[in-house]
Amino acid sequence: MIQLPQTPSFNLTGKRALITGASSGIGLALAAALAQAGASVTVAARREAQLQELTQALVAQGHTATYLVMDVADVEHTENQVVQNGPFDILVNSAGLAIHGPATETRPEDFDSVMSLNLKGAYFLTRAVAKGLIDAGKPGSLINVSSQMAHVGGIDRAVYCASKHAVEGFTKAMAIEFGPNQIRVNTLCPTFIRTALTAPTFADPDKLAWIENQIKLGRVGEVEDLMGAAVYLASDASSMVTGTGHLVDGGWTAS
């Protein structure tokens, strides 16, 4: 009788996951996704009240969850938190900032704010989790939430695009460096996702029409559209995937 291959497991039982930017929106959804797949999750962000509420909701559903108050842009504090609470088998870095406007009007302080979190913070957070895994002799999966704008340009988004293109660059370099340690590094690249932060954009009929025209599936994204992708990248199902950007963009970048 033919021996059929078995699909690698999407189950994350026994894995410890750190999810930053988890107090709302995409980060909250991805924390729920990993918890529902069996991971023990540590949710992190700056807003403690929201983290407490999320942790209580996860525990109430039978999941294992704790929280850390963390500002990813504060590199020294973040690295100390990772050392004290790690090692983490999985990282999902969903902390990010967007300050949109014409490139001709970009203020240096706005540029620095975006880069401090989206690039510098993400870089050193990813490095810190990788170091913890290397020191422990463990494999892992590190995921930075990037954007479709890491692969294209966008009006009024020069600084944001620059930060996310840079994330793709260090992701590839770290994937090469950490590959021998069986530590995978990838990005998750969403299109426009319906959250509290994007609500003002979607409330503008002209902007909404433009977005829906660019997304070939004809609708904006929901946080649920990202949850399966995050579990895939975190799990053994993607054990041969590293150094790449996983686009969830409804076909935006296909044309």
pLDDT at 139: 98
Contact 71, 122 (CB under 8 A): no
Split into its structural domains, the chain has a count of 1
In a domain, 8, yes or no: no
pLDDT at 18: 98
Q: What is the mean pLDDT of the chain?
A: 96
In a domain, 174, yes or no: yes
In a domain, 4, yes or no: no
| CATH number for 190 | 3.40.50.720
pTM over 0.85: yes
- Check 67, 123, 160, 232 and give the catalytic one: 160
Question: What mean pLDDT is predicted for residues 175-194?
Answer: 97
In a domain, 88, yes or no: yes
- 91 has which bridge partners? 18, 142
pLDDT at 91: 98
pLDDT, one tens digit per residue, over 92-151 is: 999 999 999 999 999 999 999 999 999 999 999 999 999 999 999 999 999 999 999 999
Compute the distance between CA of residue 71 and CA of residue 21 in angstroms, rounded to an integer. 9
In a domain, 3, yes or no: no
- The Cβ of residue 97 has, within 10 Å, a number of other Cβ atoms equal to 18
In a domain, 206, yes or no: yes
pLDDT at 37: 98
Compute the distance between CA of residue 146 and CA of residue 152 in angstroms, rounded to an integer. 12
Q: Which residue has the higher pLDDT, 196 or 151?
A: 151
Residues spanned by the domain of 25: 16-254
- The Cβ of residue 102 has, within 10 Å, a number of other Cβ atoms equal to 9
Residue 192 is given by DSSP the state: S
> Is 198's pLDDT higher than 90?
no
In a domain, 48, yes or no: yes
pLDDT at 197: 84
pLDDT band at 155 (very low <50, low <70, confident <90, very high): confident
pLDDT at 134: 98
Q: Which residue has the higher pLDDT, 202 or 248?
A: 248
In a domain, 10, yes or no: no
Question: What mean pLDDT is predicted for residues 74-82?
Answer: 97
pLDDT band at 89 (very low <50, low <70, confident <90, very high): very high
Confirm whether 160 is a catalytic residue: yes
